[in-house]
Chains A and B, each alone.
Chain A
Amino acid sequence: MIYTQVWDHMQGQVSDTMIQRDEDGAFIPFDEANADYVEYLWWLDDGNEPNPATPPAVTLPETVPVEDRVADLETRVDQLEGGQ
């Protein structure tokens, strides 16, 4: 069995309330009444460590340089003036 830490999207950090089981992707809460969590604790007691969490990769939209925006605006103005 292998476990991986969970990235908390809201807190922007590794979750301190649950762990993820790689086998089925299940999210296991840190609740000692939960049999899966007890199994995870045994796994830790055996000297194992979970894989680190991976923050989500986010593809930000490409930004347009200010000079290019100004040039674009000047072009549009010229077009408008030429149309008069």
Chain B
Amino acid sequence: MIDFPASPTLGQQFTAAGVTWVWDGTKWTASGLGVAYLPLAGGTLTGDLNLAYANPSIELSKVASGGGNYLYGRTGSIARWIMALGDSVAESGSNAGSNFFIYNVGDGGAAIGIPLAINRASGQVSIPNLVSPQAIGDNRIINGDFRIDQRNNGAAGTATQTYTADRWFYGANQTAKGTWQRNTGPAALAATGFPYFLQFTSSSAYAPLAGDFFMYYQPIEADMVSDFNWGSANAQPVTVSFWASASVAGIYGGSLKNSTQTRSYPFSFTLAANTWTKITVTIPGDTAGTWVMNGAAVSMFLSFDLGSGANFRAPANAWAAGNYVSVNGAVSVVATNAAAFYVTGVKLETGNVATPFNRQTLAKSLADCQRYYSTIAVVGQNYQLAGGSNIVSGFLPVAMRATPTLAILQNSSNSTATPTLSANSIGSFYATGTAAANQQLTINVLVSASAEL
């Protein structure tokens, strides 16, 4: 027998013997007869729970401070994760207690730790095992993205033994074998993320002699790489990374070698034809040899081979005692008429991992380059008697590596001879001109200052 409540209200529910009845105003009607229902005391659902209305919520309401509101994620019956939306720490006032945390739970069901906790009062978040994003290593190469080309501003050249884009030297013992250029193009940007690159285009099919060399290289100042600790038991590994492309598919070569060119690490990399490829080379620290590891002198050279002879090639990926810029069997760009080689995004850093290229402001990149080369115009005018001299001072934009070599790139002076340039220091110089007659003596020169390694 069912003992229904007396004087029910509309919609009132009454459950008895697993059946819920609803008062419709005139009679009790069984609801969901034949379907199992969770008792209010709790139970286990065997289907999804979907709350579908305007502002659904699931509420965990501990009855008093000191209790805990928990959500469990289990495998079978064993917990794997536990989230506390108010833990059992007593609420002692001033918003204390009932903190948030997440437990990670071991296979046996025991908590391993609390990888995430948030203090309710302070909001302080604790993530004890947070894995930080990988730091970007400092690039020891200057102008690795070839944005700076103070000497040529993108113009091509064929001179040998000369700087091309800033800090990048074209070394060759044979003339008229190719053209160098800091070039640009949308295809490179799309493929590499770098709009500029250093290009070499062969102008003939020249078979290099054993003693020939053709290469791009950057000399690196010792104070830039002191932490490499090379030449000692604490020598650190480094990683060279760059983008390269070539018109001729094959194995190409480069090297890292010391200033006296008695220790070299030739490395190889493979390029498909006309395909920009990201190259990463990890080089173990050299514990042998003599390395200049501090000061303003050159410490090492990073080279890209363009067709060096057998005397400058050695087995790949091993330290060798000697002057090597490439590996045995590498493609010689100069050996194929119109063959081209391209490189950009060059980075040299400590460690075994190639981290992303350091994107720096143009101002900083230019200043880095101006430590080694800059141009500046100086102008001055004064009345001078015949034979008298005027001096005009010039201040270099960046203190240079050493007292610079000064050269006149353009001269609009009216002195009796081309003005003389004298470097005062690593930061300034003066130009001197002599009056041919009593005259307004003008000194107007564009000067280059070079303190390259």
Contacts and interface: CB of A to CB of B under 8 A. Distances in A.
A56 B413 CA distance: 15
A29 interface: yes
Interface stretch (A10-18, A42-50, A68-76): A10-18
Contacts of B305: none
B392 interface: no
A60 interface: yes
B64 to A, nearest CB: 78
Contacts of A26: 405-407, 450
A59 B407 contact: no
Contacts of A24: 407
A33 B434 contact: no
Most chain B CB inside 10 Å of its own CB: which residue of A35, A37, A57: A35
Nearest to B411: A25
A18 B434 contact: no
Interface stretch (B197-205, B354-362, B416-424): B416-424
B403 A31 contact: yes
A33 B387 contact: no
Contacts of B438: 61
B420 A6 contact: yes
A7 B420 contact: yes
Given A27-B406, A28-B405, A33-B402, A10 B391 contact: yes
Given A18-B422, A56-B417, A34 B386 contact: no
Chain A interface size, under 10 / 10 to 19 / 20 to 34 / 35 or more: 20 to 34
A80 interface: no
A33 B405 CA distance: 11
A25 B434 contact: no
Contacts, number: 81
A27 B403 contact: no
A21 B423 CA distance: 15
Given A10-B389, A25-B418, A34-B451, A59 B405 contact: no
A15 B403 contact: no
A66 interface: no
Nearest to B453: A35
A76 B128 CA distance: 105
Most chain A CB inside 10 Å of its own CB: which residue of B297, B407, B452, B453: B407
Contacts of A64: none
Contacts of A61: 386, 437-438
Interface string B198-242: 000000000000000000000000000000000000000000000
A33 B420 contact: no
Contacts of B297: 33
B296 interface: yes
A66 B350 CA distance: 81
B371 to A, nearest CB: 12
The list of the 7 closest CB pairs from A to B, nearest first, reads A33-B402, A26-B407, A31-B403, A58-B387, A9-B389, A29-B403, A36-B405
Given A33-B296, A33-B403, A59-B436, 6 more contacts: A6-B420, A15-B420, A26-B405, A27-B422, A34-B403, A58-B416
Interface of A: 6-10, 15, 17-18, 21, 24-29, 31, 33-37, 56-61
